[in-house]
Amino acid sequence: MKKVILSALVSLMLVSVSYAQNSEEANRLIGVWEPSHGKAKVKIDKIGDKFYGRIVWLKTAKNPETGEPRVDKNNPDESLRNTPLRGYRILKDFVYAGEDEWSEGTIYDPENGNTYSCSIKMTDENTLDIRGYIGVSALGRTDIWKRLKMPSKK
């Protein structure tokens, strides 16, 4: 009986260590990232067990014609077309798949109002390959995002 209990405890500890390592690896996605076009900065956070990204900075934050904050004018849902782009969640529902990959999420493109299936691959600590696609990944496009260095707090 003692061997069974000891074996169960060892197994539980190994699972806990493995989960903690996976969690640390998964959390490397958290940070502020800049898409290759340089028009925005996206902050990726973890909510529960999933990862989400929202726009935290825009190169052109205000509509040049009105001076008002830029809004999601291309959203297919007319009721959301007055939603400010700053703060808008464009990455949703990503889960860590292991080996520096996050999957099962979507990416929203405010420039055309479309939402795409998406996968994320971290090629190094400061570079992401963001692949948006319809249907199968082969029918998509990859954009490279760079991590922004945040000023250190003194």
pLDDT, mean of residues 21-37? 90
Confidence of residue 11 (pLDDT cuts 50, 70, 90): very low
Q: What is the pLDDT of residue 63?
A: 86
**Structure confidence by residue, pLDDT tens digits, 78-128:** 999 999 999 999 999 999 999 999 999 999 999 999 999 999 999 999 999
24 vs 10, residue with greater confidence: 24
Task: Specify the residue for token string 């249907």.
Answer: 135
pTM for this model (two decimals): 0.82
Residue appearing with tokens 């939402």: 115
Does pLDDT of 151 surpass 50? yes
| Cβ-proximal residues to 103 (8 Å cutoff; 6+ apart), any chain | 94, 95, 97, 119, 120
Supply the pLDDT for residue 5: 58
Q: Is 16 helix (H, G, I), strand (E, B) or coil?
A: helix
pLDDT band (50, 70, 90) for residue 32: very high
pLDDT reading at 12 higher than 50:
no
Number of Cβ within a 10 Å radius of residue 79: 7
Give residue 19's pLDDT: 40
**CATH numbers and ranges of domains, the chain:** 29-147 (2.40.128.520)
Confidence of residue 136 (pLDDT cuts 50, 70, 90): confident
Are the beta carbons of 20 and 138 closer than 8 angstroms? Answer: no
